[in-house]
Structure 1
Amino acid sequence: MNGKVTSARTKLERGRSALGPALELVHTGRAPTRSVLTAELGVTRATAGAVAAELEALGLIRVDSRPAAAAGSQGRPSHRLSVDDSGPVVLAAQVHADGFRAALVGLGGRIVATAPGCLTVSSDPAHVLGAVVEAGEALRRESGRRCVGAGLAVPSAVAEPEGTALNPLHIAWPAGAPVRDIFAEQVRAAGITGPAFTANDINLTALAEHRHGAGRGAQHLLCVATGHRGAGGALVLEGRLHTGSSGLALEVGHLPVNFEGRPCHCGSRGCLDVETDPMAFLSAAGRAPGPEVGLLHQTAEMLRYEYDDPAVRAAAEALIDRLGLGLASLVNILNPDRIILGGLHRELLAADPDRLRAVVADRSLWGRSGGVPILACTLEHNTLVGAAELAWQPVLDDPLGALA
């Protein structure tokens, strides 16, 4: 009798330990059916069915036990699995040079609602983060959804474990501002339950693209991107962000690509940060910059609609060569199996993909490294989706514990 009880308890514990991995498989679209879930988890059909039923009872996924069969298929189709569109959400927030945005994001990276904020960011982080949390809480009240956590993306390296913004160069915050503590305090004050997290915006772009976009399936994903000013990078290894010993890894913006180039904020000269961003492009093209909040849009429009202009083409080729040199150095150091580009870098790739890939291949070691795929980021609002991934992680790790 005791043996049967022990066996039943072991099966129950095994099933519950599979809840998190199962939820992540559905969340990232890697287990669209129960049969795929069974194979991915390496469990019996009965265990996979019990796990799916438990996640459905928690309001996290939906199980369609009678899906329509595909044309020409034989046999009974497997139960289809999808995230529950009416399930809980998390608050995702982003602060950048041209303001902030708040959103509610469900599982699967699906944005439920968004609220754009002001177009200027004050020098007081508490004021800004209070406003963005207030906007998010208004969305939550209007939706009536359960909110289980919050995530914030900031345009700065975020030191671990302190959670301080070390270099918010393009917003007027003081260096070393305790953004994680401020954000968590504002979240609690708004009555939002669940943990609050803060991280660098490019890191979160990479995480979102790895789970739901152009980086899906990569084992060693390198992301390099620009905003209105500057450039950043991130690395996702085996599904997790590589942030280094204190959260400061992959500061690729300070990789030299032009030793006679423009002075950089870091004290060096010719860094990727100031040689491949929108200001660098406009300077190379001999164009006057518009308002800072529109620099990325201004340069993207030029590349899309004025590429026949000799000055625009020459500027693009110069930045592509600098970007390619930087990417080749990173390929030689990191050996990624995929590179994704965002912001102006994505537009440069679209303008002349062959040139960029040729520069990377020419400067890469061992031949094979030069063939690494270089793709454009594909998700809309990928930084917000990445901020949501931070907040969803405790649920993905332990659905029962996080939602208790």
Structure 2
Amino acid sequence: MSGNAAPSAAGEGSTRTRLDRGRGALGPALELVHTGRAPTRAVLTAELGVTRATAGAVAAELEALGLIHVDARPGAAAGSQGRPSHRLELAEDGPVALAAQVHADGFRAALVGLGGRLVATAPGCETVDADPAKVLGSVVEAGAELLRETGRRCVGAGLAVPSAVAEPEGTALNPLHLAWPAGAPVREIFAERVRAAGITGPAFAANDVNLAALAEHRHGAGRGSRDLLCVATGHRGVGGALVLDGRLHMGSSGLALEVGHLTVNPEGRPCHCGSRGCLDVEADPLAFLTAAGRDPGPEVSLLQQSNDLIRNQYADPTVRTAVQALIDRLGLGLAGLVNILNPDRIILGGLHRTLLDADPERLRAVVADRSLWGQSGGVPILPCTLDHNSLVGAAELAWQPVLDDPIAALAQI
């Protein structure tokens, strides 16, 4: 047979099958590199369960799309055995997602690349207007300015807000600490401002602690966990989130895991939900400053005031007693959640991370003593490791369509 003979029909079919399989693997392959689980082409091949040729074609296509970089010269880590493999890295000059966060003490915009890497951040604003449209317009304009300065392609935008966000409407049901009206259509407003700023790609919005958990699960302290519980307090109130089987658990309408309204002190402070002694008012920065006998000042956020007090004045008996009181309340709440959810890992953010750092043995003991599953072996309790996890999580919302179908998503921007 001549070397120039046309391939057989069977050969054409096999080639087409390999191409189709490769295209179908683009999203899973990108997610593996995005989350750091496929640092080399050999690992990518094994994780995808495809041939080396297919994995090579997939990596080459992702590189052509400007999403990853394939090291042209294969290498092996020192002491490793086997065939050297090409390293896979995320493209440093690739597209970005616009991430925005609003909280009680201000708002901020950032550009976030694949891998959860912050590419650029705008100076934060410390004043939050009572009109959500005004605030979201300002934060989007700050993000648009970052895009103009960097010249990056934008895949979409994500917004983190300190409120339960109802699905599918995208309304913020209880933005209590923002003075926004209950039920504000934050996703719709955000999407309108994104379009008006000329930013391409879809726009999303979700609860800030849910997004922190998503970011930590993919890039931080929750990586590798199957059933991850995240509890955090940043500025006012307490939030929680759950990742089950690797996916964020949102409940039937996006309102799952309002852990701030677990009662941990029946004789405690009245809560805005109508109950008394909830985590929301017993274990947040304001509760800590009150327990420590400090009047909150206007100079910096409540979170920073609380963290500074613990880190710099922990020897003060009043401060130490306040830390112990909040740890006991937090531990009681976590124990109840452990009994119900049986997570394989707990991660704590914001002030709760600082409390864990201050007295990890006390917190772990409270959780173990008050929870059935804790007594049977203990649940790892770890600090969150990403400094801007809600911003990174907001970007994850915008990156998800690209992770699902890179070719189709990038064709829209």
* TM-score in terms of structure 2 length: 0.95
Q: For 2:303 and 2:145, how far apart are their aligned partners in 1? A: 29
Match of 1:156 in 2: 163
Q: Secondary structure at the match of 2:372?
A: coil
**Aligned counterparts, 1:162-201, within 5 A:** 162-201=169-208
- The alpha-carbon distance between structure 1 residues 193 and 366, as it changes in their structure 2 partners (threshold 3 A), is closer
Residue 233 (structure 2) aligns with: 226
CA contact (8 A) 1:100 1:116 kept: no
Structure 1: give runs of 5+ residues left out of the alignment: none
* Percent of residue pairs identical: 82
Pairs within 5 Å for 1:270-281: 270-281=277-288
Does the 8 Å CA contact 2:232/2:351 hold for their aligned counterparts? yes
CA deviation digits over 1:352-404, x for unaligned, max 9? 10000000001111456551100001112111100000000000000011012
Is the Cα contact below 8 Å between 1:331 and 1:369 reproduced in 2? no
1:365 aligns with 372
C-alpha distance in 2 between matches for 1:292 and 1:263: 27
Give per-residue Cα distances to partners, 1:4-55, cap 9 Å, x unaligned.
Answer: 3222222111111100000000000000001111111111111111100010
Aligned to 1:255: 262
Secondary structure of 1:15's partner? helix
| Partner amino acid, structure 1, of 2:380 | P
Residue 111 of structure 1: how far off its partner (Å): 0.6
Give CA deviations for 1:221-276 in whole Å, capped at 9, x if unaligned: 10000012110000112222101000000100000001000000100000000100
Shift in alpha-carbon separation, 1:314–1:111, aligned structure 2, 3 A = same
Matched, 1:29 2:39: no
State the partner residue of 1:265. 272
**2:356 alignment partner, one of 349, 358, 362:** 349
Q: CA deviation at 1:3?
A: 2.9
2:65 and 2:17 mapped to 1: Cα distance? 21
What is the distance in 1 between the residues matched to 2:120 and 2:79? 39
Query: Are 1:115 and 2:122 counterparts?
Result: yes
Report what 1:309 is aligned to. 316
The letter of the residue matching 1:52 is: A
Partner of 1:330: 337
Partner of 2:144: 137
Moved more, 286-295 or 139-148: 286-295
- Tell me which amino acid in the other structure corresponds to 2:334: L
Q: Hey, what does 1:3 align to over in structure 2? A: 10
Q: Is the 8 A contact 1:221 1:336 kept in 2?
A: yes
Correspondence for 1:84:
91
**Unaligned residue ranges in structure 2 (runs of 5+):** 1-7
Local SS of the residue matching 1:244: coil
The answer on whether the counterparts of 2:327 and 2:363 sit within 8 Å (CA) in structure 1 is: yes
Mapped to 2, the partners of 1:69 and 1:35 lie a distance apart of 11
1:128 Cα deviation from its structure 2 partner: 0.8
Q: Distance in 2 between matches of 1:26 and 1:104?
A: 19
Closer/same/farther in 2, CA of residues 119 and 371 from structure 1, 3 Å limit: same
Provide the secondary structure at the position in 2 that maps to 1:268: coil
TM value normalised by structure 1: 0.97
Shift of 1:139: 0.5
- Specify the alignment match of 1:97 in structure 2: 104
Match of 1:14 among 4, 8, 21: 21
Give the aligned partner of residue 245 of structure 1. 252
Q: Is the 8 A contact 1:332 1:369 kept in 2?
A: no
User: CA offset at residue 292 of structure 1?
Assistant: 8.1
> What is the CA–CA distance in structure 1 between the aligned matches of 2:403 and 2:85, rounded to whole Å?
24
In 1, Cα distance between equivalents of 2:355 and 2:65: 45
Which whole-Å deviations, capped at 9, do the CAs of 1:82-130 have from their partners, x for residues lacking one? Answer: 1101111110001111211111111010110000242111111111111
Say which SS state the counterpart of residue 291 (structure 1) adopts: coil
